[in-house]
Structure 1
Amino acid sequence: MSSYLKGLANKINGVENKSFTKELDINSLVPSQNNFYGIREIEELAESINENGLMHNLVVRKKDDGTYEIISGERRYRALKSLGYEKIPCQVKENLSDLDAELMLIQANAEQRELTPSEKMEGIKRLEVIYKQKRNNGEKLQGKTRDLIGKDLGLSGVQVGRYKKVDKDLIPELKEKLDKEEITLTQAHTLSSLTKDEQEIIHEEIKDLNAKESKEEIETLVNGIKQPIESNLDKELLDEMYLNKNANDKEEEKKQSLSEKYLTKVKKNEINIESFESRLDCLKELASGYSKAQLLIDDFQHTVRLNIKEFSINYRTLEFYLEGQPNICKVYFQDSDPNQFRRVNEIYYGKVKIKTSVAFKITFDTYLLFGNDYSEGGYAQ
């Protein structure tokens, strides 16, 4: 019965592929050309296999030239080779397409290994290509591509979006710091909103800091970008960190570096990133000009468009009544990030792109649309 149920599940998921276990000559195995993951800690793995034996068989598929492509287990393969193994037990997958083989490779690495942020970002890009090709081939996939990718990598849809933004806009030097856990994903996402020149300035300031010992300094600097620095303690810390390094050196005092000038602008709130309060004022100004609005929600479960007959905006809460409904509803502003709470000119709702000059993004999946001055058109997912 269990075998039947497993087969049924595979049919439903569209990944019905037969397999069998076979002991293969190690020289017949070849690493997959699609494996972009780092091959790390082989010596430690070899030592573990030598002491405890091989815990999981490799997963392979037979190629036309008679060799077997490694889908899951290249680290184990290299460790076993270093130990002098001649035969390796493998699970051989049959009737596995190139797309499904690469998909399985990515899923296996996400499940079995601790991936670096760069590996996750590369995985997201590869999965986007895979699922786009699957849809072009006529496969019926359940759910949005972003959700499928999140499920494959063990990430939420929001995290997938953050990784994509970081991958697209963060400079390589800061990506390296993210991989080394010297900055967090949230910090990297915030920094990716800056220009390349501004990011290079930030990197110059933090490149020599020890991430663990200077956690407070780095956090203060990033928060200064994210929102105005109002705390006297934070301002004093920035002074101590960057503006008074050579107080006794008159020549150095005269030479204020570009990074110091930037940090001065951070302190004076002159950087070109709007504060949460200013964006909230923008929302209130829009709301004051319209007595009614529409609420658009496009999350993982719902795609809805609702008419609001009456609403009010508090500091972090939108309270409103829907037409025909007696109960008050609330939407909380959960993220003050400029990319998640701001005025927008386009709304992606379901399979429709709405262009307008009077709309506001409340959260990553919730919008307010004011008035009737907008146009709608289809777009490709």
Structure 2
Amino acid sequence: MGKLDKLKSQIPQGSQELSTKNHLAKTEIAMSFQNEGTELTRILLRNIEFNPHNLWSCNDDDESIQQLADAIERNGLLHNIVVSQREDGTFMLLSGERRVKALRLLQKREQESDPTGQKAHKWDRVQAQTYTGLDELSELIILDEANIMVRGLSGDAKTIQACISRYLDNLQAKFQVDRRAAEAYFKSRTQMTDSTVQRYTQFDKSLIDDVKEFFQNGTISHAQALSLCPLEPSEQILYVNAINKAIQMSNGDKALEHTYVTRITDRAAQAARMTNGREAELARLEEAIIPPVHAKPAGDVAVRTQKATLIRKYEKVTFDLSKITSSKRRLNSLRKMDAADGDGSIVESLDKLAKEAAELADLLRNGQ
């Protein structure tokens, strides 16, 4: 990225004083010069190295690679791969890992059909957009941007979040821009909706490292982590302490740990939505691990627990539905989905659910 660095050196120093708008303009100008440092070349497939930093590698299964190989054999390679040429003559892959895996599968087929090696093999070489002179930070930026643009939301939440977080960090480090400018540039380079972009960027901005770690190690889901974003850092510490106690009390029992964590997270998320009484609610987080049992006849405890479970499930359903009904965009999206898919109807399912709920309420009300 020689031209990119040269351009950067010509920009006046004192970037801390630049506005976010100027930061974004600077990033867009610099990134627009990337393609000037590349050329299309035909390179040997065996000289291409898979990038160890590609977060999506684990999502490529044999069946999808087989299907891609068949498609390339029929139609040829429709999109060039992107590589960074190293001083030792090898090429580090920046975009197109699935395509290279498919090409190597085609190459293997050719070699098996020609054990003597006397024929010219079609898939030994591939045309690639080749960068020269890139530093490791620039390679990572191009790698992650390619995945974000091509793969979008096709991976799991953990992979997507890790990729976006690293991409934003590297944009800031490479071009000395603030977070808002990095996020604005990211929005300009993705097909994700604004609300989706906001979810993934909010994760980085709002959550403390300990909560992020709970998500990364699978203790809580991405949705659960996002529900905690409205909490202040000091309030999130109370949540972290409660979760750590729950994990300790579960004594290695994963099912019990999941139950405890869910109880605490539900209460913390409820507190996050509160404008009044949040502090008191958070102060009682540890009580959610094992809710206190009131002095009632022993036979009544199981009934009351079942009742509380039903009410909690009802509250969750109504909360989820309220999020949909409060958004015109989500309602319009559901209408389009319902119109496009003839396999069942969302409206009919909701009507049936409402009818069954009303019938159950009547039975309970009438004591039957």
| Range into which the TM-score falls when normalised by the shorter chain | 0.3 to 0.5
Structure with the largest fraction of strand: 1
With the length of structure 2 as denominator, give the TM-score of the two structures.
Answer: 0.47
